[in-house]
Amino acid sequence: MRLTVVGCAGSFPHAGSAASSYLLEADDGGRTWRVLLDLGNGASGPLHGYVDPGELDALAVSHLHSDHVADVVVLNVYLRYHPDGPRGPVALFGPVDTPQPLAEIAGSDPATDTNGQFEFSPWVDREPVRVGPFEIEPVRVNHPIEAYGMRITGPSEKDPARRVTLAYTGDTDDCPALDHLARGVDLLLSEAAFVEGPADAVRGVHLNGVRAGEVAERTGTKRLVLTHLVQWNDPAVSLAEARRTYSGPIDVAAPGAVYSL
Ligand SMILES: [Zn+2]
Ligand SMILES: [Zn+2]
Where do the structural domains in the chain lie, given as residue ranges? 2-260
Give the distance (Å) from ligand 1 centre to CA of residue 68: 6
Q: Is the pLDDT of residue 132 over 90?
A: yes
- The model's pLDDT over 188-198, given as tens digits with 9 standing for 90+, comes to 999 999 999 98
Give the distance (Å) from ligand 2 centre to CA of residue 151: 18
- The model's pLDDT over 134-164, given as tens digits with 9 standing for 90+, comes to 999 999 999 999 999 999 999 999 999 999 9
Q: Is the pLDDT of residue 124 over 80?
A: yes
Give the distance (Å) from ligand 2 centre to CA of residue 143: 7
Q: Which CATH number fits domain 2-260: 3.60.15.10, 1.10.4160.10, 3.40.190.10, 3.30.160.270?
A: 3.60.15.10
Give the distance (Å) from ligand 2 centre to CA of residue 200: 15
pLDDT band for 113, please (50, 70, 90 cuts): confident
- The model's pLDDT over 208-229, given as tens digits with 9 standing for 90+, comes to 999 999 999 999 999 999 999 9
- The model's pLDDT over 18-44, given as tens digits with 9 standing for 90+, comes to 999 999 999 999 999 999 999 999 999
Closest-CA residue to 114 (of 125, 105, 122, 123): 105
> Rounded to whole angstroms, how far apart are CA atoms 18 and 202?
25
Check: CB of residue 54 under 8 Å from CB of residue 81. Answer: no
Residue-level pLDDT at 112: 80
Q: Is the pLDDT of residue 115 over 80?
A: no
Check: CB of residue 193 under 8 Å from CB of residue 9. Answer: no
Give the distance (Å) from ligand 1 centre to CA of residue 62: 9
Residue 4 Cα to chain centre, angstroms: 11
Give the distance (Å) from ligand 1 centre to CA of residue 111: 28
